[in-house]
Amino acid sequence: MLIAAIFGAWLMPHDASQMNLAAALRPPAWQAGGTLQHLLGTDNLGRDILSRLIAGARTAAIVAAYAIVLSGALGALIGMIAGYFGGIVDAIIMRIVDIQMSIPSLALALVLAAVLEQGLSTVIIVIIVTYWTWYARIIRGEILSLKERDFVALAKVAGCGTPTIFLRHFLPNIFNTLLVLATLQVGQVILFEASLSFLGLGIQAPDVSWGLMLSDARGYIANAWWVITLPGIAIMLTCLASNLCGDWLRDTFDPMRRQA
């Protein structure tokens, strides 16, 4: 997926948005009626499926990178503030987190997507608003433990300010947790973006998205299986790969699991 996202412009055999109604709904090359010119077939507008899958990988990678980095940074900062200061600050932040986590994420996303202008930037904003709470809750728990450690007390005695403690003492100790959580959420973010695009509230044409490909293919399930199956397989394999990568990172960074 990353190779397709980075080198997609050179890998795509056709323009992902180029229409050719004369070649509409061509089957994959290994089926009767298929051609090597369109290895994975074409959709209802004659657009090359393979090219659109590659272009969709770039969209998925952009959404995942921006959304996870920004939501992770926001959630980690809020989680550190809540865990470090405690008291009324912690109570207010955690109640906000509890309220937002009690709202169905898809329902919140539908409201935001309907209010904001539809497109790539809106999808990223919706994901940030939806997912920062997971980081905040987990990082808060980490900070509650870390702030009682001796090196934090020594840093306070040495005159280190709160920003210094956050950057030099907390952040290196929670980085592994952030990395594992971000990797595990890649699949969730891609699936979330695909859901919004499928409902018509995410990526809009002429941009390409796997969810948008599924939405366009709804009416052709019975007579053109490839137009809906292949984007679904791309989403499934990407989510599976990110989950396996997250599990591997968790086992690698956890000493107890590594010894086992």
pLDDT, tens digit, 9 for 90 and up, residues 30-87: 998 888 899 999 998 999 999 999 999 999 999 999 989 999 999 999 999 999 998 9
Q: How many CB atoms lie within 10 A of CB 197?
A: 27
**Is residue 258 within 8 Å of 251, Cβ to Cβ?**
yes
Domains of the chain: 39-259 (1.10.3720.10)
**Tokens matching residue 3:** 């190779």
What would the mean pLDDT of 222-233 be, rounded to a whole number? 91
Residue 224 backbone class (left: φ over 0; alpha: ψ -120 to 50; beta: rest): beta
pLDDT digits (tens, 9 = 90+) for 154-178: 888 888 888 999 998 898 888 888 9
Q: pTM of the full predicted structure?
A: 0.84
**Is residue 195 within 8 Å of 106, Cβ to Cβ?**
yes
Residue 258 confidence (pLDDT) above 60: no
pLDDT digits (tens, 9 = 90+) for 111-130: 887 787 778 888 888 888 88
Contacts 24+ apart (CB under 8 A), 90-93: 90/140, 93/136, 93/140
Res. 255 pLDDT band, cuts 50 70 90: low
- Per the listing, tokens 């044409």 go with 205
